[in-house]
Structure 1
Amino acid sequence: MASISVRDVAARARVSVGTVSNVLNRPERVSSETVERVQNAIAELGFVRNDAARQLRAGSSRAMGLVVLDISNPFFSDLARGAQQAADDNGSVILLGNSDQDARREGFYLDLFEEQRVRGVLISPVGDVGERLSRLKARGIAAVLVDHRIPGSGFSSVSVDDVAGGQLAVEHLLSMGRRRIAFVGGPSTLHQFIDRLEGARLAVAAVPDATLEVLETESLTILEGRAAGDGIVGRAPADRPDAIFAANDLVALGLVQSFVMGNGLAIPEEIAIVGYDDIDFAGSAVVPITSVRQPSELIGRTAVELVIGEIDGTIEKGRDVVFQPELVIRATTTGPVTAL
């Protein structure tokens, strides 16, 4: 069966091809009676518009590309939901790419989105993407960094102050009288790891008898957290940390599983834990996890709004939006509090 064309719709509706085009793209220019007649013809014929051809003529599409580090992490799925909601409000769609913390996969998606002539790209990068984003910018494709900043780069960004978040988490642990702090997460190349660790170090440096041990993991997953927990349990009690700042909530969940379900360590009496992101699972864990909250959906929504603002000229390029983190206290740290 031959595909139905715009000419077929025009003939059925008894209007010009240009009128059909206006109904599809600029319906405000057409009378409501004509719009209804064309829409009826579309429904009767089963016409499906060729958006690929339309975007070739226009030079861009209605789509925006979003590249996240790990879609299995609820933080990024919530972020994607916020981005899609904002895109829906503006007649756009989100094409989602999961780099899985792999620079080659990240490059593949950036190439794909460039080929698709997307309106803009939102990216939480694995590594240095400045050169790639500059190429997109030269092609007229707006780019916004998500959960990351490159100061002085000229690219807009939406992020949370992770240094402040790391400091907030560890100051809370120190306020409980804990002094042997461990930071668990990784890999060390991730900017989230670097910034949160910097905040932890600032907090520990302010307390003379406090120490900070860094236990790097290969990724920020529950399994890696569980493995790190098993390693801690295998130490002599005097050699264990008395508090842990986990680089994200998935790692914190793995630690809780190791300590409580597998090895019977008391939380927070023997080891207190603070996670990061405040995903839904943090509050529903077997021991609800104290966490540093990021406004994940708001980050995604704001990133899309920056892209659209750059495209229509209402927002200046190179704008950095930085949200402040919030500590949510739950059972993994609700022990006695002592003054520093």
Structure 2
Amino acid sequence: MRQRPSVTDVASVAGVSVGTVSNVLNRPDRVSGPTRARVEKAIADLGFVPSASARQLRAGVAQSVGAIVLDLANPFFTSVMRGIEDRLAEESLALMVSSTDDDPARETHFLRMYEQHEVRGILVTPVGTDHSELAAVRDRGTRVVLMDSDGDSAFPGVSVDDAHGGHLAVAHLLDLGRRRITFLNGPSTIRQCLDRLTGARRAVVDAGLNPDEVLTERVLPALNADAGEAAAHALLALPRSERPDAVFCVNDLVALGVLRTLLRAGVEVPQRIPVVGYDDIGFASMLMVPLTTIRQPTHQIGWSAADLLLRPQPESLAQVRFSPELVVRASSVAAG
């Protein structure tokens, strides 16, 4: 394998000192035009790439940011990452990303790893509500911003009103006349899942109905399409009198699995069972039966979280909160 060219190699080819090469890279105005051109030609000929870590050590300012999310395989988080990247690109900063898979041990591992890399700061969608590890990282000098999370004023953060989102979804199904609604949810240790359930139950109460009679929660072992498919099979195995007449899914991936199973079983969607998802990820509008869903401003979540991280310290505890919106498509309302 060819050895990576060094600053010393560039200086040798250009016939200048290492200090002159450094000036061309970092303070080109200090170098005369002919000398700068000679160094730039040597850089191009050798294929030299400056070391970001070395430049960071010289400048004393980190050039990267870490992000820790629940599941990068979920397109929701992919879109959030794009928002982060767009904001960081304005400052020429790099992004490192990790998934916790809702595992506190993995979250702690990646927090330590990013600290060791001396990142500018860490954006975290936390696992659970115990933020002691995050506080320890912050107290050691690394800025921490909570992302798609809520309820801890000790950290700056970006959140979405998920209780309102759950309310929108179930109120929509109630408006369609549905009275046996199943909510396919994740564990209550995930704040978003708990808030969406709270909003869903409140929608039933606001309609003058008993949530224990109208709304049934099923907690899934994973928040992906396979789990949605398995849950839909279980619902179809119930006696017809006990089957739901509507399904609200905690995210669009779960809804995809539900739709796939219902359609394969010959169940008419939305006539027999309307389906509502959550997130409005890219494929939601492209399905054979386009998915009604609760839209979250994913790009803005990421952009705003990165922006909070880069703000001056006096603004370090700022909070940004977004409101989701209902997007009605064919999975809940048949074309007239």
* TM-score, with length taken from structure 1: 0.89
Aligned match of 1:299: 301
- 8 Å contact kept, 1:4–1:46: yes
- 8 Å contact kept, 1:290–1:331: yes
Q: Per-residue deviation at 1:126?
A: 1.5
Aligned match of 1:50: 51
Aligned match of 1:70: 71
Q: Per-residue deviation at 1:172?
A: 0.8
1:248-274: CA deviation from partner (whole Å, max 9, x where unpaired): 00111111111111x211111211111
- 8 Å contact kept, 1:59–1:117: no
Change in Cα spacing, 1:282 to 1:336, as seen in structure 2 (3 Å) is: closer
Q: Which runs of 5+ in 2 are unaligned?
A: none
Q: Per-residue deviation at 1:199?
A: 0.6
Q: Does 1:243 align with 2:242?
A: no
Aligned match of 2:276: 274
Q: Per-residue deviation at 1:235?
A: 1.2
Aligned match of 1:196: 196
Distance in structure 1 (CA, Å) of the matches to 2:55 and 2:130: 30
Change in Cα spacing, 1:251 to 1:28, as seen in structure 2 (3 Å) is: farther
| Superposition CA RMSD, Å | 2.4
Aligned match of 1:178: 178
Distance in structure 2 (CA, Å) of the matches to 1:326 and 1:196: 13
1:67-103: CA deviation from partner (whole Å, max 9, x where unpaired): 1111111101111122112222210111111112222
Q: Does 1:102 align with 2:103?
A: yes
Aligned match of 1:252: 255
Amino acid at match of 1:214: E
Q: Per-residue deviation at 1:335?
A: 4.9
Q: Per-residue deviation at 1:329?
A: 0.3
Identity percentage of aligned residues: 45
Q: Does 1:209 align with 2:203?
A: no
- 8 Å contact kept, 1:179–1:209: no
Distance in structure 2 (CA, Å) of the matches to 1:98 and 1:253: 22
- DSSP 3-state at the match of 1:158: strand
- 8 Å contact kept, 1:183–1:247: yes
Distance in structure 1 (CA, Å) of the matches to 2:221 and 2:197: 16
Aligned match of 1:229: 232
1:121-142: CA deviation from partner (whole Å, max 9, x where unpaired): 1111122452222232233322
Q: 168-177 or 2-11, which moves further after superposition? A: 2-11
Q: Which runs of 5+ in 1 are unaligned?
A: none
Q: Per-residue deviation at 1:212?
A: 1.1
Distance in structure 1 (CA, Å) of the matches to 2:306 and 2:272: 44
Change in Cα spacing, 1:336 to 1:28, as seen in structure 2 (3 Å) is: same
- DSSP 3-state at the match of 1:292: strand
Distance in structure 1 (CA, Å) of the matches to 2:33 and 2:297: 42
Amino acid at match of 1:144: V
Change in Cα spacing, 1:41 to 1:179, as seen in structure 2 (3 Å) is: same
Distance in structure 2 (CA, Å) of the matches to 1:30 and 1:127: 54
Q: Per-residue deviation at 1:336?
A: 9.9
Q: Per-residue deviation at 1:322?
A: 0.8
- DSSP 3-state at the match of 2:25: helix
Aligned match of 1:322: 321
- 8 Å contact kept, 1:176–1:335: no
Distance in structure 2 (CA, Å) of the matches to 1:28 and 1:42: 17
Q: 1:220 aligns with which of 220, 223, 227?
A: 223
Change in Cα spacing, 1:22 to 1:257, as seen in structure 2 (3 Å) is: same
- DSSP 3-state at the match of 1:143: strand
- DSSP 3-state at the match of 1:215: strand
- 8 Å contact kept, 2:129–2:189: no
Distance in structure 2 (CA, Å) of the matches to 1:8 and 1:142: 38
- DSSP 3-state at the match of 2:141: coil
Distance in structure 1 (CA, Å) of the matches to 2:324 and 2:38: 53
Amino acid at match of 1:172: H
Change in Cα spacing, 1:23 to 1:301, as seen in structure 2 (3 Å) is: farther
Q: 52-61 or 178-187, which moves further after superposition? A: 52-61
Q: 132-141 or 208-217, which moves further after superposition? A: 132-141
Distance in structure 2 (CA, Å) of the matches to 1:264 and 1:234: 14
Distance in structure 1 (CA, Å) of the matches to 2:234 and 2:3: 65
Q: What is the number of residues matched between the two proteins?
A: 332
Change in Cα spacing, 1:267 to 1:31, as seen in structure 2 (3 Å) is: farther
- DSSP 3-state at the match of 2:193: helix
Change in Cα spacing, 1:174 to 1:36, as seen in structure 2 (3 Å) is: farther
Change in Cα spacing, 1:14 to 1:184, as seen in structure 2 (3 Å) is: same
Change in Cα spacing, 1:169 to 1:33, as seen in structure 2 (3 Å) is: farther
Aligned match of 1:83: 84
Amino acid at match of 1:167: H
